[in-house]
């Protein structure tokens, strides 16, 4: 196997692929990339056994004499290539020893490859349903929800993003029981209702790849009971779905919220960041004291005699209220809203607050809801 490829293009592709490979794998072969050369196209595959990412790159010249597949050590290859200038790279593989020679201008590097026969095979898309989704929708849905997933091995279902498709809309949901985000599009529908849980790591990889391409594209999404398959341009991603039943998130969303506060998003976010520095380091509690035209955000840490408060103008409908929130959670949610103003709806200091973006230019087909649980105030 011999081929020549541009170093910058090659480096970009393998950096994206390397996001799938985890450290300290118990199966040594999956610390490698799998190279497959066929008719001037180099196919590169990376896997952690749960997620597989495949990329295709056209090579400048290629010749197949003997081996068409070789496993290449990923970390060493990436460390070599990412520090090179824009130069042609010439690869040559020894069929007998699996040794890989790389030449770049005046440089020559030799890596110990491995027999590709032991590299894991890919799941096949059998008995699948499919849907086409715009890349911008997936980027927005993942970006708005992934931060709210749980990092808890005992609650695997909540470590992923729920995807529900029905005859009315498509919905993405993430929650860790303290915060919840529901991202919905009313212009994507399917006559066959389905729901599945996408694991966080591969969908973040998907988002990173889609975000690196500024042009809108269509993404084919196939799914069955065990896997989801994403196909777009020269990439192919397979991920094993999270098993189990997702919590009934709809039951956690309060339906009657008579107290409504509208506030400038940037002012509120910056206030939370400053005042949150003075909150107790265990509870991270901030207090919102809300009146007709004024919001007071305050925090104190009695252990260190620290306290702070700031006043903000707001528009408020409802009875005067004091409610506590975890400053970190509230800051995280407000920072993930893309609007000039936000609407915070509440019913009682002991019940969840719901955040909606208020943007006059917002797409009418987009529906975003963010829920954050309160922290009991110590009076």
Q: 3-state DSSP call for residue 368?
A: strand
pLDDT greater than 80 at residue 24: no
pLDDT greater than 70 at residue 139: yes
Tell me what the mean pLDDT of segment 214-219 comes to.
91
Tell me what the mean pLDDT of segment 216-233 comes to.
95
Q: What is the mean pLDDT of the chain?
A: 92
Taking the CA atoms of the chain, what radius of gyration do you get in angstroms?
A: 25
- CB of 195 closer than 8 Å to CB of 163: yes
Q: 3-state DSSP call for residue 10?
A: helix
Q: Is 181 exposed, middle or buried (0-12, 13-18, 19+ CB in 10 A)?
A: buried
% of the chain surpassing 70 pLDDT: 98
Same fold, 2-118 and 129-248: yes
Q: What pLDDT, on the 0 to 100 scale, is given for residue 62?
A: 63
Q: Are strands 129-134 and 194-199 parallel, antiparallel or unpaired?
A: unpaired
Q: What pLDDT, on the 0 to 100 scale, is given for residue 60?
A: 80
% of the chain surpassing 90 pLDDT: 81
Tell me what the mean pLDDT of segment 37-52 comes to.
92
Q: Which helix (H) or strand (E) holds 14?
A: helix 7-18
Q: What pLDDT, on the 0 to 100 scale, is given for residue 26?
A: 78
C-alpha to C-alpha distance for 323 and 191, rounded to whole angstroms: 42
Q: What pLDDT, on the 0 to 100 scale, is given for residue 154?
A: 75
pTM for this structure?
0.91
Q: Are strands 61-63 and 2-6 parallel, antiparallel or unpaired?
A: antiparallel
Q: What pLDDT, on the 0 to 100 scale, is given for residue 156?
A: 86
Q: Is the dihedral of CA 27, 30, 35, 36 positive or negative?
A: positive
Q: 3-state DSSP call for residue 323?
A: strand
Tell me what the mean pLDDT of segment 132-150 comes to.
95
Q: What is the pLDDT of residues 325-361, one digit of tens each?
A: 999 999 999 999 989 999 999 999 999 999 999 987 7
pLDDT greater than 80 at residue 379: no
Q: Is 157 exposed, middle or buried (0-12, 13-18, 19+ CB in 10 A)?
A: middle
Q: What pLDDT, on the 0 to 100 scale, is given for residue 164?
A: 96
What's the fold here for domain 2-118?
Answer: DNA Polymerase III; Chain A, domain 2 (3.10.150)
- CB of 60 closer than 8 Å to CB of 53: no
C-alpha to C-alpha distance for 142 and 161, rounded to whole angstroms: 8
Q: What pLDDT, on the 0 to 100 scale, is given for residue 119?
A: 94
Q: What is the pLDDT of residues 278-330, one digit of tens each?
A: 999 999 999 999 998 999 999 999 888 899 999 999 999 999 999 999 999 99
Q: What is the pLDDT of residues 233-274, one digit of tens each?
A: 999 999 999 999 999 999 999 999 999 999 999 999 999 999
Instruction: Give me the residue label for tokens 């091995």.
Output: 153
- CB of 130 closer than 8 Å to CB of 150: no
Tell me what the mean pLDDT of segment 211-226 comes to.
92
Q: What pLDDT, on the 0 to 100 scale, is given for residue 74?
A: 94
Least confident of 151-155, 217-221, 289-293, 314-318: 151-155
Q: What is the pLDDT of residues 47-105, one digit of tens each?
A: 999 999 999 999 987 666 667 899 999 999 999 998 888 889 999 999 889 999 999 88
Q: What pLDDT, on the 0 to 100 scale, is given for residue 66?
A: 66
Label residue 106 by pLDDT band (50, 70, 90). confident
C-alpha to C-alpha distance for 335 and 268, rounded to whole angstroms: 10
List the alpha helices (DSSP H) in 146-219: 200-212
Q: 3-state DSSP call for residue 30?
A: helix
Q: Is 375 exposed, middle or buried (0-12, 13-18, 19+ CB in 10 A)?
A: buried
Say which CATH architecture domain 253-375 belongs to.
Roll (3.10)
Q: Is the dihedral of CA 203, 208, 209, 215 positive or negative?
A: positive
Domain residue ranges of the chain, discontinuous segments joined by +: 2-118, 129-248, 253-375
Q: How many C-beta atoms lie closer than 10 Å to residue 4's C-beta? A: 15
- Going by C-alpha positions, the residue among 121, 135, 139, 126 that lies closest to residue 227 is 126
Q: How many C-beta atoms lie closer than 10 Å to residue 46's C-beta? A: 23
Tokens of 301: 């840490």
Say which CATH architecture domain 129-248 belongs to.
Roll (3.10)
């Amino acid at each position: 196997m011999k081929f020549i490829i541009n170093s910058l293009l090659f480096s970009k592709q393998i950096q994206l692929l390397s996001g799938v490979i985890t450290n300290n794998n118990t199966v040594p072969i999956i610390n490698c990339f799998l190279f497959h050369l066929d008719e001037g196209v180099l196919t590169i595959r990376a896997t952690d056994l749960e997620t597989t990412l495949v990329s295709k790159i056209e090579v400048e010249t290629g010749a197949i004499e003997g081996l068409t597949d070789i496993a290449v050590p990923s970390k060493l290859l990436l460390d070599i290539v990412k520090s090179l200038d824009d130069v042609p790279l010439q690869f040559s593989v020894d069929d007998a020893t699996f040794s890989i020679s790389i030449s770049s201008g005046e440089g020559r590097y030799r890596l110990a490859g491995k027999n590709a026969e032991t590299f894991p095979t890919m799941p096949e898309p059998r008995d699948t349903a499919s849907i086409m989704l715009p890349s911008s929708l997936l980027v927005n849905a993942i970006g708005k929800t992934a931060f709210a997933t749980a990092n808890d091995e005992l609650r695997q279902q909540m470590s992923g993003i729920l995807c529900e498709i029905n005859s009315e809309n498509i919905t993405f949901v993430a929650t860790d029981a303290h915060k919840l985000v529901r991202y919905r599009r009313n212009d994507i529908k399917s006559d066959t209702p389905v729901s599945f849980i996408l694991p966080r790591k591969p969908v973040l990889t998907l988002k990173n790849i889609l975000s690196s391409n500024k042009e809108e594209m269509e993404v084919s999404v196939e799914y069955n009971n065990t896997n989801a398959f994403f196909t777009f341009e020269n990439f192919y991603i397979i991920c094993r779905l999270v098993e189990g039943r997702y919590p009934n998130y709809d039951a956690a969303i309060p339906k009657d919220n008579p107290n409504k506060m509208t506030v400038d998003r940037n002012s509120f976010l910056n206030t939370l960041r400053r005042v949150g520095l003075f909150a107790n380091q265990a509870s991270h509690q901030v207090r919102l004291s809300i009146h007709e035209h004024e919001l007071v955000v305050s925090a104190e840490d009695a252990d260190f005699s620290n306290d702070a408060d700031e006043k903000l103008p707001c528009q408020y409908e409802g009875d005067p209220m004091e409610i506590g929130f975890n400053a970190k959670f509230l800051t995280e949610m407000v920072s993930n809203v893309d609007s000039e103003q936000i609407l915070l709806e509440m019913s009682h200091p002991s019940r969840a607050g719901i955040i909606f973006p208020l943007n006059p230019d917002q797409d009418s087909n987009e529906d975003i809801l963010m829920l954050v649980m309160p922290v009991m105030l110590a009076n």
